[in-house]
Homo-oligomer: A and B are copies of this chain.
């Protein structure tokens, strides 16, 4: 069915069911000029927004609308995880080209709602508009945390242990698969990493609750770029140990089968949506235990140092400075 047969307001009615998953705190959901809600007691508000643009962030033929819906919310939930917060209320703007059918949008919103249910997020409103050519989805998401548990990029200190809470590179390999159209025996795992990342709210809450970490960010632009943000904001440098960067066996065999630059894919592409942070050496074990006993992962991958810049130490003991570079929207 074409959207113009339905009209804007009947389309909004159609997608409204299932948007409210948690009534507590909500005063007004979809259907007014604003949504209205309460801030949980003794919490500060975290606010993030992310825009996904067709042909820039995704190819419409390569990702299912369901996964696209999930991912558009996931990347925002991941920003809340990176502050140590709990996600709460979301509003969605969408610009829809005339070529898209209602059934596609039904699937897109089903994907969003499934991600929202998984993380107890309400979809409380938004803006629907037409688009001359490309599909554009913007999510703005409110989350909450206690003021003294929020984790910033700016707290890293020399001698901190740099850690990751999951493997990196698989999303980049998935993107490479899509763009190159290679044949690969375990393609599904890599495509899943790229199309259906799971934000690490559980990890973020454990790290925030322990109050020992000095800094935290999520890996969206790539380990090198995102660690670069921590270093810049904290006025420090970092040394990474190449052999300690966690990757999956599938990622390793993909790189080896196609002779790909493994370092580039694991450090400079991003969209892994695991957490990257730093913790004082004396508290690293405590953090590792807390994460692992909850079924989460902790990989120490290097050390914060005085100065600036990121150095990579190879398995042969050699060291070299790497650019704190990842995806730059205006340079590519």
Stretch in A5-13, A181-189, A236-244, A258-266 touching the partner: A5-13
Stretch in A31-39, A168-176, A247-255, A279-287 touching the partner: A31-39
15 A-B contacts (beta carbon < 8 Å): A4-B331, A4-B332, A6-B330, A7-B328, A7-B331, A8-B330, A33-B217, A34-B85, A47-B89, A47-B125, A49-B93, A49-B126, A49-B138, A50-B127, A51-B136
Q: Which residues of B contact A9 (CB under 8 A)?
A: 328
Q: Are B48 and A125 in contact (CB under 8 A)?
A: yes
Q: Which residues of B contact A331 (CB under 8 A)?
A: 4, 7-8
Chain A positions near chain B (C-beta within 8 angstroms): 3-4, 6-9, 11, 27-28, 31-39, 44-51, 53-57, 79-80, 82-83, 85, 89, 91-96, 124-134, 136, 138, 140, 142-143, 145, 147, 150, 152-154, 217-218, 233, 328-332
CA distance A93 to B127 in the complex (A): 14
Also in contact, A328 and B47, with CB within 8 A (given A85-B34, A134-B132, A136-B95): no
Q: Most B CB atoms within 10 A — which of A33, A46, A136, A145?
A: A33
Name the 5 nearest CB pairs between A and B, nearest first: A140-B140, A33-B82, A51-B93, A34-B46, A39-B39
CA distance A6 to B85 in the complex (A): 33
Tell me the minimal C-beta distance from A39 to chain B in angstroms.
Answer: 4
Q: Which residues of B contact A28 (CB under 8 A)?
A: 150, 152
Q: Are B48 and A91 in contact (CB under 8 A)?
A: yes
CA distance A132 to B54 in the complex (A): 8
Q: Are B44 and A37 in contact (CB under 8 A)?
A: yes
Also in contact, A153 and B56, with CB within 8 A (given A8-B328, A45-B38, A329-B129): no
Q: Which residues of B contact A136 (CB under 8 A)?
A: 51, 53, 95, 136
Q: Are A79 and B33 in contact (CB under 8 A)?
A: yes
Q: Are B44 and A38 in contact (CB under 8 A)?
A: yes
Q: Are B33 and A150 in contact (CB under 8 A)?
A: no
